[in-house]
Structure 1
Amino acid sequence: MDSVLKGETRASEVGKRIVLPASFIGGPRDMRRRYLDALALVQRFGKPDLFITMTCNPEWKEIQENLYDGQKAQDRPDLTSRIFRAKLQDLKDQLFKKEIFGKVADHVYVIEFQKRGLPHAHMLIILKSEYKITTPDHFDRFVCAELPDRESHPDLHNLVIKHMMHGPCGAKNFKNSCMVDGKCKYQYPRSYCESTIQGKDGYPIYKRRRNGLTVQVRNAQLNNQWVVPYNPYLLLRYNCHINVEICSGVTAVKYLYKYIYKGHDKIAIHISPIDDENLVDEIKQFQDARWVSAQEAMWRIFEFNLNETDPAVINLQLHLPNQQSVTYWANQRLDNILRWDHVSKTMLTEYFSMCSKSEDARKYLCREFPEHYVWDKQDRCWRERKKRDVIGRISGVNPIEGERYYLRLLLNHIRGSTSFQDLLTVNGVAYSSFKQVAQKRGLLESDQSIIECLNEAITFQMPHELRRLFTIILVYCAPTDVRLLWDTYFDAMYEDFKRETTISVELRVSKTLQSLNLFLESMGKSISLYDLPIRPTNMDNVDCEFPREIQDEMSIQIPPEDYEAELKLNFEQHKAFSMIIDVIQKGKSGIFFIDGPGGTGKTFCIVLC
């Protein structure tokens, strides 16, 4: 450890920014898979109980004591990464071994890196049923959102002032980074509250008494309204910003899991010599990439985990009869591969085989099978599980896939099937399709499969994607009661328009219908073909002379503060801004590197450029 702490690795050697192909770190599909795995845990164990965010403190004594003369924490990404990881491991011991909040059923966490470089962890925890945090009295046992008394708790008082005070923002500082449209996006200052109560939006309203306590923070007098919720024990132990929130309602589940699995920022970049004679091939020039800070680079070099899910989630293969994926070497003969017995063995076929052999195996649904049996990749068979808890999840399927979707529907409802043919048989009568079986078993009655699909999608899809799915269902699934589906899922589909508080309800409905119509037009259909509300014609822009894509871009309103942003640049920022804009206006090419300590306004300057 000392050799690492006293090493000579400096930020200048590691590099402030490293641009890597997006495939190096896993793309959106990988993040989506992890997100769906996490929601499988929610389906199995219930909603999360605690949301914890822990941020590296560059003033930790373990960091400061191992810096050389003249060094700052930002000069030693190797040191800060190692120390933060050690603190995180200790936090896990406190939560999962010492069980300071109670016995944990499952947890997920993701490591992220601020644009300034410092690592931080987002962690979601689901407690076992007997330890669930359900009442305001329980909330107060674990989370505090008030300034502690200076006399009785001096150390805690100082740490809250140092790490857990938001802002100031709003009327005290309109230039704070949290300000959006003149309001704090984190809703500070919070309202006073004499006792903790259950909130309507899935978050509790913590106790913030009007007790007259104020402190001087960043040139402003702040009170309990500005305290970020924290746990006193964890704050004293780790001496850093460590936000602890109670997840008291199911409405917050989708947001929280999407938040921790939102993924990284990406860029498109191409570097080439100036050659005006060559034609531009945008397809060949396009590079999907992202930048990696020195902190993240060291984290990856040390091979520390960037995320963790416990218990593990096993993704079960789903395929129609004789349509499983087969891998082989380029020089292998296909006829030999087809005769190989292992080719026909998959997780699904061997699930059927196990159910035909074992009475005990027939008690479980396909998705429950990994909890009791382990998949042997070498011999391609299921064996009885003896240790380690896992959760199973069948791959998601879009209704447009037809029979594969209905196969998944049957596997989620029928236990102990012994073969595909067994699934196709109901009361001794064999049917030719999985859809017919689903209908005979009552799984498709009154659009039940569509309702189940939309209910599942609501847990993880954003409103824009829900509208896309809704139109796919209209076009390809022929629902029997379109208006009932609209009335049931309208609130979820126009959730993003709710944030536009200045528009009327009628306009929100109109914008939702317009969005649906755009998707339908891309599939050769029109909203007028379905039993949906009629959109007022005076809200349509059918006579617009521009294509819809250009019309959408032209409709973007540029706020006045964007025009005035250049006036807020300091001398060095303005110098960089002028150089970059000059190159752009002259139509020249160039590459620029902006560097500086955290908090000097690099991001502000880049966004303005």
Structure 2
Amino acid sequence: MVDDGNLTRPRDLYVSAKDHSLLRLFETDEKYDPLQYPLLFPYGYLGWTYTDVYANGAKYRNKRTMSLREHVAYRIFQKVDDQTALHQGGRLFQQWIVDQRAKCQQEQLRWVAKNQKKLRAERYHGITDALFNEETITLDKGEVLVSEYDRATGTLVHPDQRPGNEHFLNQVGKQVVLPDAHVGSRRNMYKHYQESMAIVREYGNPDAFITMTCNPRWVEIVVLLPDDQTAQDRPDIVARVWQLKLKAKLADLDDGLLVWKPGWPSLRLKLRVKNPSEPRSEPNEILRFLNATYISPVVAAMRLLTYEIQGKTHAVTTLTVHLEGGQMVVFQPNDDPDRVLGREGSTMLTSFFELCASLEPEDEIAKTMLYQEIPKEFSWDAKGKVWVRRKKYQAAIGRLIHVSPC
């Protein structure tokens, strides 16, 4: 049963039991795959569970449990003398790979919908004003903030002592919907575009436009296919051969830019100018992403095997710009206001000012550089919130975020 776009509820599978009752299984249930694909798993091998651990108690990225994507990637790789039906399923194998990628993506979007909606971001001085203002303040687009200040006592009233009103932090700021860290999202693609333009700003316009499209008749693909299979039957092989040939081809070039195109993998750059007069799109960024997402078997295999679909020759550091007290602060609606106010800290911009005022000999070069040139010689320590001099050369440049004049 496919749901009607509700991200908080997974797709369901209903199984009729012998006693005529219906058993409802989520898509992440370990019994989902053997029941949904009995031809691929004729012996009923169970699928992934949240408690799956790495072999021999190993740890990866400080965790012992295996993610859904890692479990699927393990199954995609065909083992030596592997005679399972999975890789012999033809178009059903294509459907299984696309389904697994859709499940992984749905899990990520569901986490965003359930958790990121609770996160809010607001400028530091905006939280300060909201905390100490004794009047009701109207925020953006009719959002109302009820003051926490008690005029009679001159103190802040604890949210639990105010029946009928939500914690004031729950009414401050803007919802964080779909971050640019989600590959393929609108924010993610816009970020890659801006970073690409930063490279153009630094080194000039490109001298060549190169397009490379995967050929299913490549010898490297054909020799790996059994006699009764075609490239369409093995998207896993196509994805891996494409990745290897792409790396080999880029190694022969000085630089390259990888942008994804649906269907067969391809290497190209495509720009589109949006007409401002067009109707506004779906305001829900997650639903807009889902409605415009097409997953081909090869692209599904590439994403499950963590192959990049965008790439750049230079690391681009996005530099923050803000007025005094205007840095963004991320918080939960029920966070302690005093703790939120204590998160002001340093930003890239304020640390740049401190770097220019530093008397350390290794920091002298910063006084001769513009803000956007700093990443060439310094790297940003996100934990310590300071700029640190690079010990070895790295192809890195800085990019200023767009600042509206209004």
TM-score (norm 2): 0.51
- Cα separation, partners in 2 of 1:257 and 1:291, compared to 1, 3 Å: closer
Counterpart mapping for 1:409-428 below 5 A: none
Q: Deviations over 1:304-330 (max 9, x none)?
A: 011111211111011111010112355
User: Which residue does the alignment assign to 2:22?
Assistant: none
Tell me, yes or no, if the aligned pair for 1:11 and 1:77 is still in contact at 8 Å: no
User: Which residue does the alignment assign to 2:189?
Assistant: 31
User: Which residue does the alignment assign to 1:370?
Assistant: 375
Tell me, yes or no, if the aligned pair for 2:94 and 2:233 is still in contact at 8 Å: no
- Cα separation, partners in 2 of 1:285 and 1:322, compared to 1, 3 Å: closer
Paired with 2:184 and 2:259, the residues of 1 have a C-alpha distance of 14
Tell me, yes or no, if the aligned pair for 1:373 and 1:383 is still in contact at 8 Å: yes
Paired with 2:98 and 2:306, the residues of 1 have a C-alpha distance of 19
Tell me, yes or no, if the aligned pair for 1:9 and 1:76 is still in contact at 8 Å: no
User: Which residue does the alignment assign to 2:352?
Assistant: 351
**Structure 2: which amino acid aligns with 1:385?**
R
Q: Secondary structure at the match of 2:293?
A: strand
User: Which residue does the alignment assign to 1:562?
Assistant: none
User: Which residue does the alignment assign to 2:245?
Assistant: 87
- Cα separation, partners in 2 of 1:288 and 1:2, compared to 1, 3 Å: closer
Paired with 1:85 and 1:5, the residues of 2 have a C-alpha distance of 24
Post-superposition shift, 1:67? 1.8
Gaps of 5+ in 1: 96-103, 123-255, 261-267, 270-281, 401-609
Gaps of 5+ in 2: 1-76, 110-177, 274-280
Post-superposition shift, 1:289? 4.0
Paired with 2:239 and 2:89, the residues of 1 have a C-alpha distance of 12
Pick one of 65, 69, 82 that aligns with 2:223.
65
1:383 to 2:388 alignment: yes
- Cα separation, partners in 2 of 1:296 and 1:302, compared to 1, 3 Å: same
1:303 to 2:306 alignment: yes
Q: Secondary structure at the match of 1:310?
A: coil
TM-score (norm 1): 0.35
Tell me, yes or no, if the aligned pair for 1:355 and 1:362 is still in contact at 8 Å: yes
User: Which residue does the alignment assign to 1:14?
Assistant: 94
Q: Deviations over 1:94-144 (max 9, x none)?
A: 22xxxxxxxx3x53222323xxx321112xxxxxxxxxxxxxxxxxxxxxx
Q: Deviations over 1:334-379 (max 9, x none)?
A: 2133235xx2300001101111114421111111111111110111
% identical equivalent positions: 32
Tell me, yes or no, if the aligned pair for 2:94 and 2:234 is still in contact at 8 Å: no
Paired with 1:319 and 1:73, the residues of 2 have a C-alpha distance of 52
1:395 to 2:398 alignment: no
User: Which residue does the alignment assign to 2:265?
Assistant: 119
Paired with 2:89 and 2:381, the residues of 1 have a C-alpha distance of 43
Counterpart mapping for 1:283-322 below 5 A: 288-322=291-325
1:110 to 2:259 alignment: yes
Paired with 1:285 and 1:329, the residues of 2 have a C-alpha distance of 23
Paired with 2:238 and 2:200, the residues of 1 have a C-alpha distance of 33
Q: Deviations over 1:423-476 (max 9, x none)?
A: xxxxxxxxxxxxxxxxxxxxxxxxxxxxxxxxxxxxxxxxxxxxxxxxxxxxxx
Paired with 1:319 and 1:283, the residues of 2 have a C-alpha distance of 25
**Structure 1: which amino acid aligns with 2:291?**
D
1:328 to 2:341 alignment: no
User: Which residue does the alignment assign to 1:207?
Assistant: none
The aligned length equals 234
Q: Secondary structure at the match of 1:360?
A: helix
**Structure 2: which amino acid aligns with 1:395?**
I
**Structure 1: which amino acid aligns with 2:294?**
W
User: Which moved further from structure 2: 47-56 or 284-293?
Assistant: 284-293
- Cα separation, partners in 2 of 1:5 and 1:26, compared to 1, 3 Å: farther
Paired with 2:286 and 2:202, the residues of 1 have a C-alpha distance of 45
- Cα separation, partners in 2 of 1:322 and 1:284, compared to 1, 3 Å: closer
Paired with 2:400 and 2:239, the residues of 1 have a C-alpha distance of 36
Q: Deviations over 1:26-84 (max 9, x none)?
A: 32222121111111111101111122111111112222222223211111111111111
1:53 to 2:218 alignment: no
Paired with 1:57 and 1:259, the residues of 2 have a C-alpha distance of 26
Q: Deviations over 1:144-174 (max 9, x none)?
A: xxxxxxxxxxxxxxxxxxxxxxxxxxxxxxx
**Structure 2: which amino acid aligns with 1:333?**
D
Q: Secondary structure at the match of 1:67?
A: coil
User: Which residue does the alignment assign to 1:339?
Assistant: 342
- Cα separation, partners in 2 of 1:60 and 1:2, compared to 1, 3 Å: farther
Paired with 2:80 and 2:240, the residues of 1 have a C-alpha distance of 8
Tell me, yes or no, if the aligned pair for 2:250 and 2:256 is still in contact at 8 Å: no
More helix by percentage: 1
- Cα separation, partners in 2 of 1:285 and 1:120, compared to 1, 3 Å: closer
User: Which residue does the alignment assign to 2:173?
Assistant: none
**Structure 2: which amino acid aligns with 1:13?**
F
Q: Secondary structure at the match of 1:307?
A: coil
Pick one of 357, 365, 368 that aligns with 1:360.
365
Q: Secondary structure at the match of 1:386?
A: coil
Post-superposition shift, 1:381? 0.6
Counterpart mapping for 1:218-257 below 5 A: none
Tell me, yes or no, if the aligned pair for 2:319 and 2:401 is still in contact at 8 Å: yes
Greater RCO (Cα-Cα under 8 Å, separation 6 or more): 2
Q: Secondary structure at the match of 2:226?
A: coil
Paired with 1:284 and 1:399, the residues of 2 have a C-alpha distance of 29
